[in-house]
C-alpha cells in the first residue's frame, strides 16, 4: 500500500539567477523555506518525493524586478519578482 505524507518545512540555501534583459547578470545566494511531499510504499524507502511549496525568505533583497530562476537541492524553479519585492512561480 502507498502512503503520502507532508514533511515539516525546512530552510535550504539556493541560488537566484536573473533570466531577462532587466535581471541578467544578477545572481545571489538566498534562503528558501521548502515543504516536501513524499510517497512511500509499505516498509520501503521513499518511492517519490517532490517539493510542493517553496518561498524565498530573505529580507534584504536589492535585485531588480523581473524573471529569475532559483536552484536548490538539485531542483530549479522559474520565478518572477514583483515591484513589492515578492517572488512568485511562473
Nearest to 69 by CA among 31, 15, 11: 15
| Res 5: pLDDT | 80
Sorted by sequence, the CB contacts under 8 Å of residue 82 that are 6+ apart come out as: 65, 88
Does the pLDDT of residue 2 top 80, yes or no? Answer: no
- Asked if residue 87 has pLDDT above 80, the reply is yes
Total domain count for the chain?
1
Residue owning grid cell 510517497: 39
Model-level pTM? 0.80
Q: Is the pLDDT of residue 46 over 70?
A: no
Domain that holds residue 62: 2-89
Residue 58 phi/psi, 5° resolution? -75, 140
Amino acid at each position: 500500500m502507498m502512503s503520502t505524507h507532508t514533511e515539516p518545512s525546512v530552510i535550504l540555501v539556493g541560488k537566484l539567477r536573473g533570466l531577462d534583459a532587466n535581471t541578467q547578470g544578477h545572481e545571489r545566494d538566498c534562503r528558501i523555506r521548502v515543504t516536501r511531499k513524499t510517497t512511500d510504499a509499505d516498509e520501503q524507502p521513499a518511492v517519490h518525493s517532490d517539493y510542493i511549496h517553496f518561498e524565498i525568505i530573505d529580507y534584504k533583497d536589492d535585485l531588480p524586478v523581473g524573471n529569475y530562476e532559483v536552484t536548490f537541492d538539485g531542483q530549479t524553479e522559474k520565478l518572477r519578482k514583483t515591484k513589492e519585492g515578492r517572488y512568485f512561480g511562473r
